[in-house]
């Protein structure tokens, strides 16, 4: 899995510290470089010089709707090409995800193997 020298950078946006920790632990173990954000704000400017390969985005972030975050990402010239995977436990998350134009969706709770597979799917463009 970790065949490249430089690990893939994953940005995880979620307001739940437990989730952020768990995702970081799993993805560290799997060999990814993990950056976390718990507010959905200020990450674009910060990461512009070294953008992530993929963004994992929670639908419900305190103070900010995940869909708004997704739209902001898609409006940025640099970030708009980065695939977004929406994560949510909300009953209508699937529909919301589709409506906000994200690339994929994983319902909580998910299997870590599914998480890794989804990341790999979107970070390895078809040859």
- Residues 68, 71, 113, 124: which binds other proteins (CB under 8 A)? 113
Instruction: Write down the least CB distance from residue 16 to other proteins, Å.
Output: 5
- Residues 41, 64, 74, 108: which binds other proteins (CB under 8 A)? 108
- Give the per-residue SS3 of the chain: CCCCCCCCEEEEECCCHHHHHHHHHHHHHCCCEEEEECCCCCHHHHHCCCCCCEEEEECEECCEEHHHHHHHHHHCCCHHHCCEEEEECCCCHHHHHHHCCCCEEEECCCCHHHHHHHHHHHHCCCC
Stretches 40-48, 62-70, 74-82, 106-114: which one binds other proteins (CB under 8 A)?
106-114
- Residues 10, 11, 13, 23: which binds other proteins (CB under 8 A)? 23
Instruction: With CB under 8 A as the rule, give the number of residues binding other proteins.
Output: 21
* Cα distance between residue 85 and residue 66, in whole Å: 11
For residues 24 to 43, the per-residue mask of contacts with other proteins, x marking binding by CB under 8 A and - elsewhere, is -xx--x--------------
List of residues contacting other proteins (CB under 8 A): 16, 18-19, 21-23, 25-26, 29, 60, 89-92, 108-113, 115
């Amino acid at each position: 899995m970790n065949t490249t020298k430089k690990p893939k950078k994953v940005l995880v946006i979620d307001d739940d510290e437990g989730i952020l920790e768990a995702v970081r632990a799993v993805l560290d173990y799997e060999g990814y470089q993990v950056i976390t954000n718990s507010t959905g704000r200020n990450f674009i400017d910060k990461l512009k010089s070294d953008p992530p390969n993929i963004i994992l985005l929670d639908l419900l972030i305190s103070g900010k709707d995940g869909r708004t975050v997704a739209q902001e990402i898609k409006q940025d010239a640099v970030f708009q090409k980065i695939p977004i995977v929406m994560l949510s436990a909300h009953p209508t998350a699937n529909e919301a995800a589709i409506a906000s134009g994200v690339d994929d969706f994983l319902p909580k709770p998910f299997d870590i193997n599914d998480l890794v597979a989804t990341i790999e799917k979107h970070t390895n463009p078809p040859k």
